Each structure stands twice: as structure tokens, then as C-alpha cells.
Structure 1
């Protein structure tokens, strides 16, 4: 494809402003932002005037995705729009980058995946989680080398106090019509741990809403969620998430094997390894050739420009893998029973 890649943005909120747009604008020879469609025409105009004055503000996202002068649709909207926008754009012959989480439900994710395989010549990718990215290669290498032997148990904590104030209005992540089955950081970390430990095959879940009504809105999305899971190789996991935890520890994972323990702090990217028989954990540096920095936007652009370039990950199939777990956990939470993850 000849330069530049011509991008239309659907949904220009905080993550687009803070992360995606600066990276895209840093590639002026390779990228042109052609049009922007935000939540309203007025907000589209404000965004363009402030950040990309050369772009055309638009009111209707499907008109943006249909433009002949755009070859990439960058979906930065909230999850309730992900499936419709991605499917429409792929069918219109556009490459698609979609913000995480993939969709509100497994059914919506399925439509996205089917559209991507029906248009396999197009690049379709999801935004990867930054959590664990820097040390991902090191963790996977240590596990593959058997640094802690066969894994039998893991524990993950992701707690914050963002939803503690009962007088605060419902955040969009607490609105089921917007976020769907996504709860806190559950989907993010499912993606990470399945990359490290393999597929989750069954789940049990428990959770609750602490403040059921916020500013007249009835909240259904849990304020905290606890999930017990089983991996394909038989290892067990205990995952704890909360938005109502005051003074919580930093997000981290502990992986226990027959020969030792491996831990990862998702905030500091610190890795520690303890061997069976030793009383102390040792810090494990991330080798320079294993460090993975944030190059998400350039990776996607280069894949669009060069069909021989590596396809960016996660793609829509990998998104389906964590959405199957998200769906199973929602069903387990509702039924109170163990639910097997769809194959």
C-alpha cells in the first residue's frame, strides 16, 4: 500500500487522546488522520480543532466508515459500539483497529471474528493490554524453561477504590448497556494469563454490587468479582477484582509450581523468582532483547502498509478466546454454578 495510511477515527475519548493519537501523529510520513466521528458532531468539531485541524469532523460513524478516502477505521469508542463499527468497516473493505475490551458479549465478539475471517486480507486487531507487556517475553521464557516446574496454582489481585464513593454517578464501565459483561479488569487479565498459562476451561464466580443505585441509575455490573478457574493442563487459579477496595496492594500475579514461585508486579513490571528450598525470592531482570515497549500503533500501521509484515496481536481470534471466558464467568455469576468455557 502506498503511503500514507489514511485513518478515520470513531470515538475520540481519553485513550485515543492520551495514547493512540500521539503515536499516530508521530508518523507524519506514514499516517494521515482524515476524519473523526465522536459522540456528537460538536464534540467531533472540538476534537479536530484541538488535535487534528486537517481532519473532517463527522456526525455519523457509518458514513465515516464508508468513505473511499479512508482505508483504516480506528475504533476508539466504548464497547457497545465495537461490534457494529468493526463489522461494518470490515465489510466496507477497511482495516480495523479496535480498542479493548473486544465487545459487550461473546455473541457480539463472534460477529467481529466472523467478519475478520471473511475479509482475511484486511488487518483486524484489538488494542493489547499494557499490563505485563514489558516483561511478557521473560515470563513466558521462564515458564517454558521450567523455572518453577509444572504450574499447579496461581493467584491474581487487581483491586482499586475507584467506585468507593456511593454518591458518585455510575461510570460508563458500570453501565451494562455500554460495557456489557465486562467487569473491572477481568477481561484484561484473562488475556494476559491465558498467554502465560494456557486456556481457561472452566470458571466459578462470585461478586456483588455494593452501591446498587447511583444518581437514579440501577447498577448491575459487580463492584467486586472473585473467580476460580481451571486451566487446560489442570492448574487452578484464584482471581480477585475490586473497584471498592480502599488502600489495596498493587496489581500482581503469583504463579506456584512444583519447583518454585514466580511473581509479576503489573505496576512496576518487577519479576521475582523463588526456588523450592530457598527462603528468599530473587529479582529477575528483564533482558534488553526481551523488553517489549509500546509500539502498538506503529505495528498496526506497518502491517497495513506491508502485507508481509507480522500481523499485530491480539487479533479477533485471540479476542474471542478471552471473551469466551468473560461470557462463562457472567453465566457462572448468575447461576452460582461451575461453567465450562465454550471451545
Structure 2
């Protein structure tokens, strides 16, 4: 860490999740007593004009057009990964090998093999290096209370957990195709994107691990518009 007791952050990606993370980095020290003061040092994106505009709007000190530059910079302690899932493994492993802390959005990776490589890189990282995934729902008061109730024994033996994640922004069949609906970029799609929160929260609250899985899947909207034409998602 720097001598000023700050945590110098470099964030990769500045769209939907990048904007949310930027808000969190700006406001967290104003609500909580933190051991280190986050400094929003640099944000990276491919488009020079757009990333520069995002840096100015979201409160970052500087902008880069190549994520590798963030990892190379000596004035950055932590890499915050807010890009599509197909890029998570490469960036996280490179950052850990460079001695950076890593905060990676979920789903952690698009395959078990990628996740295992990331885990191995975290285990081999320099002493004190922190690698974590953004399971933010662990921090919600309701789930924290539920975990305390389970741990206290007030709910008895946990035999069943039922969870729902209600989100409607892709229910519109005319909503355009995004990277989240592209399997090559998003891996398991909504199952990994929001299902990951359910799996993590259930295991965290119950204090138990999933040991087997049985599932039925269905894609309800089979086509999405792209540039005026509809593209199949089959």
C-alpha cells in the first residue's frame, strides 16, 4: 500500500457495472470507517473518447485504453474487473502475477477450468495479496440477519432453501442483443450472472455447500434484434 494509507484502484470497464463500482468507491468512505482510503486512480476502456468521458463523469484521476497498462502501473494497488466474463481469467491472472489485489465481478469465470486457473494464481500470489469475487448480496442487512439466525440455531436444522432473483430488464422480446446474451462472452448467461448470487447466498447463509445439481433450463426469448434484424439465440 502507499505511505498515505490509501488503496489506489484501477478499474477495467466503465459501463453498467463500472458505473456502479465507481459510485461505491466514491461513497463507501463517506458511510463507513475504512482501514484504507480508496483512491480512484485510473479506469481502462478501449475507446479513447468514451473512456476519457467516463473517467471525468465517474470521478477517476486518469484513463487508459489498454487494461495491461493498469497492471503495469506502479501507482495502482488493486485491479477492479468490470468486463464481460470471457475476459475475467486473463485479466485476473495477469494482475495477481503482477502483485496486485483483485476484485472480480461475478460470474468469476466462463468455465471451471478458467476458475481453477484463477484460483491457482490467487494461491500463488504474493503474501498479503487479496483476491475476491463481487458477491455483494452478502452485505445486505436482510441476508446478514438470516445468517445470524441460522448460526444461532434459532431456525433449527436447515433442510431446504428456496431462492428467487427477480429481474425483468430482458423480458421484453424486442430488447436488443447484448454481450450478456452472447454465450461466447457470458458463458452460462443469466444462470451464471444472477444465479451465481443465489448459489453463493444460499451456501453462505446455510453454512453448507452444494454437492449435486439437477436443473431444467429454457430460453423463452429465442430471437433478439441486432441492427434492425432479428438474430436467433438457439
- TM-score calculated relative to the size of structure 2: 0.82
In structure 2, how many angstroms separate the alpha carbons of the residues matched to 1:158 and 1:25? 27
Residue 142 (1) aligns with residue 152 (2): no
How has the CA–CA distance of structure 1 residues 44 and 161 changed in structure 2, closer, same or farther, with 3 Å as cutoff? Answer: closer
Match of 2:10 among 8, 11, 27: 8
How has the CA–CA distance of structure 1 residues 150 and 24 changed in structure 2, closer, same or farther, with 3 Å as cutoff? Answer: closer
Indicate if the aligned counterparts of 2:106 and 2:196 stay in contact, CA closer than 8 A: no
Match of 1:110 in 2: 116
Match of 2:232 among 195, 209, 218: 218
Residue 133 (1) aligns with residue 140 (2): yes
Match of 1:196 in 2: 205
- Structure 2 unpaired stretches of 5+: 31-35
Which one has a bigger Cα radius of gyration?
1
How has the CA–CA distance of structure 1 residues 199 and 53 changed in structure 2, closer, same or farther, with 3 Å as cutoff? Answer: closer
Match of 1:209 among 201, 215, 219: 219
Match of 2:33 in 1: none
How has the CA–CA distance of structure 1 residues 31 and 157 changed in structure 2, closer, same or farther, with 3 Å as cutoff? Answer: closer
Residue 51 (1) aligns with residue 61 (2): no
CA deviation string 1:221-247 (max 9, x = no partner): xxxxxxxxxxxxxxxxxxxxxxxxxxx
In structure 2, how many angstroms separate the alpha carbons of the residues matched to 1:11 and 1:73? 11
From the two aligned structures, give the one with the greater helix fraction. 2
In structure 2, how many angstroms separate the alpha carbons of the residues matched to 1:137 and 1:160? 22
In structure 1, how many angstroms separate the alpha carbons of the residues matched to 2:60 and 2:100? 23
How has the CA–CA distance of structure 1 residues 48 and 179 changed in structure 2, closer, same or farther, with 3 Å as cutoff? Answer: same
- TM-score calculated relative to the size of structure 1: 0.58
Task: Quote the offset at 1:182 in angstroms.
Answer: 4.0
Indicate if the aligned counterparts of 1:101 and 1:182 stay in contact, CA closer than 8 A: no
Q: Secondary structure at the match of 2:9?
A: strand
Q: Secondary structure at the match of 2:156?
A: coil
Indicate if the aligned counterparts of 2:137 and 2:201 stay in contact, CA closer than 8 A: no
Match of 1:175 in 2: 182
Q: Secondary structure at the match of 2:153?
A: coil
Task: Quote the offset at 1:77 in angstroms.
Answer: 1.5
Q: Secondary structure at the match of 1:86?
A: helix
How has the CA–CA distance of structure 1 residues 133 and 59 changed in structure 2, closer, same or farther, with 3 Å as cutoff? Answer: same
Task: Quote the offset at 1:59 in angstroms.
Answer: 1.2
Match of 1:337 in 2: none
In structure 2, how many angstroms separate the alpha carbons of the residues matched to 1:162 and 1:51? 24
Match of 2:164 in 1: 157
Indicate if the aligned counterparts of 2:43 and 2:60 stay in contact, CA closer than 8 A: no
